[in-house]
Structure 1
Amino acid sequence: MADHQRQRIHPVVVEAPPPPTTPLVPPGSSRSEKGSSNPYHRPSPLLLQHSHAMPPIIPLPPKKRSRSCFCRCLCWTLFLIFLLFILIAAIATTIYFVFKPKLPDYSVDTLRINDLRLNFDMSLYAKFEVRITATNPNKKIGIYYEKDGRMSVWYTNTELCQGSLPEFYQGHQNRTVLNLSLSGQVQAGSTIMAAIQQQQQTGRIPLDLKVKAPVAIKLGMLKLRKVKVLGECQLLVDSLSSNNLISIKASNCKFRMKP
């Protein structure tokens, strides 16, 4: 009975608490959002040295778009200029092949000296009459001769006389004869008169006829803006005697248009 009343004592196994585990914290982060540090993680000295050596990274400001806008505007401007050049070239080519423009032609028919004398003040007075023929060779282009047209006679870079050109319209393939009266006075004319008399003995006196005529071109029903016809005729005459019809031995005329 006593044996049955004895209490049996069984050994109790006491489990030891598990060792603390290292929390999963990324390397390099030592504090949480609340500022607590992780006692089980120490940053390596190499990382500390590297973090002190590198300067702080400063974000760059955003790039400005002004440069790109300027380049875009420049490209469009060059493109428009090129397009305008192509358009003008196309219009000029069309006008050339449709109307086939030609320069007007001029010829000196006669030259008469009405007066050529020395005055008492030794100035040289000259009065010439010139007959010229203006020819418009164009089939589809008319020419308006505007006011302020001039013609002058020169001898060795000295203007002897001048006169105005009349205003008129010259139609297609038209030929117009103009009789012009030119007059002028030159100071220190004794030297010029002596040179003319000396060359008159040879029968070869050079003269220059210069023309400056503002004209407007008419293409069909369209009248374009005015341009200038500039011309020069180099003449070789036999004499400059007064009241005498001069014989023109040689004539060379050149004309061009100027905007």
Structure 2
Amino acid sequence: MSELRYPRESTSKPIIETPPVSGEYPKMSTLKPIIETPPVSGEHQRDMSRGSFGSSKSYDSGPNPGTYVIQLPKDQIFRVPPPENAHKFKRYTKRNPNRNYCRSCICYMISIILLLIILLGITFGILYLIYRPKIPTYTINGIQIKGVNLTAAKVTATTITPVFNITVKTDNRNGKISIYYEQGSKINIYRDGVNFCDGELPAFYQPPKSVTVFSTELSGSGIVLSKSALEKLLNQQKNGKVPLEMDVKVPVRIKLGSVKFWTMTVKVKCDVAVNALTVKSKVVSQKCKVRFTPW
């Protein structure tokens, strides 16, 4: 009679892995993947013939207790750099030496320009504190007007050829600054937006703390006055106040001690009123604004 033999139970102790405490996850390094190998041909039938599906010793339905499998989504597996940014990484790491050289030159030039501007500002600040420059004042002493014959007998459109002889006084109030008035100046006299006459100022030198008076002649031709403009002009002359506008633009050079600076521009705008447009006209009122521009 055949002897039945039962397999000897393993004397080794089972490995019991305790689950992690709440909130604590197992380290990735301690996790071992579970690899299931397919059964050899015919082995599956022998296992099924043994009878019971409930026996854990004869059939394993899943991982051992205490073993955890963590699956990460593919989009959360990071690389350095990511594949889609690999070409950007290569482009940024390959720096063009010529571009860096040009950039350095531009920064160097900008730094030099800023330094020069700062030095010029400091120099002008020191000169201003030492010399205390003052803008000269300009006054119109007299105006003689010819070529404007207005009569109330015939109030119609007319053409005039005015000639203005003006006398200007300029006062240099600076104690250590002299002014050179150069050629190329321009002076215009307007009335209601119409240019009556124009001309230029003479060139002269004005020393510090001095007053200079000069005269110049301005002329115009073919000035057409409409009937309404002529009537308005006659009424203003009857009231003893005819308004005029004068614009002056003259190039000058300033001298501080023995240093002579570059050519600058003086712009003068005056609102002048005379009692009549005649040779014996007198200045009733005037208001002048002076502006210095360094170019």
Task: Specify if TM > 0.5.
Answer: yes
* Contact preservation (8 Å) 1:227, 1:257: yes
Counterparts of 2:252 and 2:219, CA distance in 1:
24
The SS at the match of 2:101 is helix
Question: Are 1:158 and 2:190 an aligned pair?
Answer: no
Identify which of 240, 243, 249 aligns with 1:203: 240
Counterparts of 2:95 and 2:226, CA distance in 1:
79
The SS at the match of 2:134 is coil
Counterpart for residue 174 of structure 1: 210
The SS at the match of 1:139 is coil
Equivalent runs, 1:31-110 vs 2, <5 Å: 63-66=94-97, 67-110=99-142
Counterparts of 1:74 and 1:216, CA distance in 2:
35
CA-atom RMSD in angstroms = 2.8
Counterparts of 1:164 and 1:63, CA distance in 2:
66
How many residues are aligned here?
201
* Contact preservation (8 Å) 1:122, 1:188: yes
Counterpart for residue 10 of structure 1: none
* Contact preservation (8 Å) 2:274, 2:284: yes
* Contact preservation (8 Å) 2:196, 2:223: no
Shift of residue 190, structure 1, vs aligned partner:
4.1
The SS at the match of 1:212 is strand
The SS at the match of 2:118 is helix
Query: Percent same amino acid at aligned positions?
Result: 30
The SS at the match of 1:185 is coil
Change in CA separation of 1:128 and 1:68 when aligned onto 2, cut-off 3 Å? closer
Divergent runs of 4+, >6 A:
none
Equivalent runs, 1:113-192 vs 2, <5 Å: 113-117=145-149, 122-191=158-227, 192=229
- Of the structure 1 ranges 67-76 and 108-117, higher mean CA displacement relative to structure 2 is found in 67-76
Q: Deviations over 1:141-183 (max 9, x none)?
A: 1111111222222111111112221111100011001122222
Counterpart for residue 21 of structure 2: none
Counterpart for residue 243 of structure 1: 279
* Contact preservation (8 Å) 1:137, 1:172: yes
Q: Deviations over 1:186-207 (max 9, x none)?
A: 4323444333112222222211
Counterpart for residue 39 of structure 1: none
* Contact preservation (8 Å) 1:124, 1:190: no
Q: Report which of the two has the higher share of strand.
A: 1
- Of the structure 1 ranges 178-187 and 97-106, higher mean CA displacement relative to structure 2 is found in 178-187
Counterparts of 2:106 and 2:249, CA distance in 1:
42
- Of the structure 1 ranges 70-79 and 220-229, higher mean CA displacement relative to structure 2 is found in 70-79
Change in CA separation of 1:167 and 1:185 when aligned onto 2, cut-off 3 Å? same
TM-score with structure 1 setting the length: 0.69
Q: Deviations over 1:106-159 (max 9, x none)?
A: 0011122233138xx942111122111011111111111111222222111111
Counterparts of 2:112 and 2:96, CA distance in 1:
23
Change in CA separation of 1:182 and 1:72 when aligned onto 2, cut-off 3 Å? closer
* Contact preservation (8 Å) 1:159, 1:186: no
* Contact preservation (8 Å) 1:110, 1:130: yes
Equivalent AA in structure 2 for residue 197 of structure 1? L
Counterpart for residue 7 of structure 1: none
Equivalent AA in structure 1 for residue 120 of structure 2? I
Counterparts of 1:107 and 1:204, CA distance in 2:
18
The SS at the match of 1:91 is helix
Shift of residue 214, structure 1, vs aligned partner:
1.1
Q: Which runs of 5+ in 2 are unaligned?
A: 1-89, 151-156
Equivalent AA in structure 2 for residue 117 of structure 1? N
Equivalent AA in structure 1 for residue 247 of structure 2? K
* Contact preservation (8 Å) 2:159, 2:222: yes
The SS at the match of 1:101 is coil
